[in-house]
Amino acid sequence: MEYNTYDPSPDLASFIKCFWSLKVPQEASGTKQQILPDGCLEMIFNLGDDIKRYTDSDDFIIQPASFVMGQLTKPFFIEPTGDVDTFAARFYPGGFGHFVKIPLQDLSNKETEFSGMFDPNKAKDLVENIRESRNIADRISIVEEFLLSIIDKNIDSNELINATIDTILSTKGTLGIEEIIGSSKSKRRQLERKFSSMVGLSPKQLCRIIRLQSSLQLMLKNDGMDLTQIGNESQYFDQSHFIKDFRDFTGISPRKFYADEKFTLSSIFYAQE
């Protein structure tokens, strides 16, 4: 399994967290892998064989060859049918909202093909150019050129949303919304409505996901670290609160996470954050 990340250009560094590529030969692709919420939307290009995404324990769809993966509020399973060759752009929370005019909560927990949100002709050219590209540098250049060609038409910066996102990320989701924006109910309702449209999650959902991601990274980078210490460092109210959030987003307890092979791919992704 070969997973690599790449920095965006300075022009897009405030929107794109990274570009990434994943190559897995069929003989090493293994079984179902569970993908966890991380607060980011992604533009994904599947350049290898088909990938199944399970809608329940037995039923599945075939993911499109190119799509935007909306915000996840729950984990889901994927399973390669052969060789994996994937290239993607991972956006910061709120980053992708600068390139489209549709409410991002409409994209949650599903794949949306590019033609459903971009000019169909431009989307078609983008996909064809990526497929014809020779290397990662070319792919990054193609996606960045595409994004820079549409950003000025759609950008709508909101200082309150940006400040809220920055605070959630810098504090690793440990602050409550009232601590971030104050106790004004009208201000909170206004923020939540605009926040969901721009980010695809409510502020509370993003806080929970970012804090859980922080816990996962501690677990992956400190093998054998006491789970009580991890919960404390992530500033959960108590151990039961930590375990509940962990179960909500992974389906298992923290103690079982290390030995569960279905998290192999997620572990590779989040260990490098």
In the chain, which ranges are continuous DSSP H helix?
Answer: 120-132, 136-154, 159-170, 177-181, 185-199, 203-221, 227-233, 239-250, 254-257, 264-271
Cβ atoms of residues 139 and 87 within 8 Å: yes
What range defines the domain where residue 44 resides?
A: 2-154
Distance CA 155, CA 239 (A): 42
Q: What is the pLDDT of residue 68?
A: 97
Question: 237 and 184 in one domain?
Answer: yes
Q: What is the pLDDT of residue 228?
A: 85
Indicate the number of domains in the chain: 2
Q: Which among 139, 154, 169 is the end of a domain? A: 154
Cβ atoms of residues 113 and 95 within 8 Å: no
Question: 141 and 44 in one domain?
Answer: yes
Question: 135 and 166 in one domain?
Answer: no
Question: 187 and 150 in one domain?
Answer: no
Question: 128 and 77 in one domain?
Answer: yes
Q: What is the pLDDT of residue 48?
A: 94
Question: 190 and 77 in one domain?
Answer: no
Amino acid identity at 33: Q
Q: Which residue has the tokens 């206004």?
A: 190
Q: Which among 93, 128, 154 is the end of a domain? A: 154
Return the CATH number at 114: 2.60.120.10
CB neighbour list of residue 211: distance below 8 Å, 6 or more residues apart: 172, 173, 174, 234, 235, 236, 245
Question: 258 and 238 in one domain?
Answer: yes
Q: What is the pLDDT of residue 187?
A: 72
Measured between its terminal Cα atoms, the distance across the chain in Å is 17
Question: 131 and 37 in one domain?
Answer: yes
Question: 179 and 145 in one domain?
Answer: no
Is residue 248 classed as helix, strand or coil in its secondary structure?
helix
Question: 261 and 141 in one domain?
Answer: no
Question: 164 and 148 in one domain?
Answer: no
Cβ atoms of residues 45 and 65 within 8 Å: yes
Q: What is the pLDDT of residue 157?
A: 64
3-state SS, one letter per residue, for 249-263 = HHCCCHHHHCCCHHH
Q: Which among 154, 184, 216 is the end of a domain? A: 154
Residues of the chain below pLDDT 70: 28-30, 152-157, 183-184, 223-224, 258-263, 266-267, 270-273
Q: What is the pLDDT of residue 181?
A: 75
Nearest to 161 by CA among 243, 93, 220: 93
Question: 119 and 176 in one domain?
Answer: no
pLDDT 10s digits, 100-113: 989 999 999 999 99
Return the CATH number at 231: 1.10.10.60
Nearest to 85 by CA among 53, 131, 54, 125: 131
Q: What is the pLDDT of residue 92?
A: 96
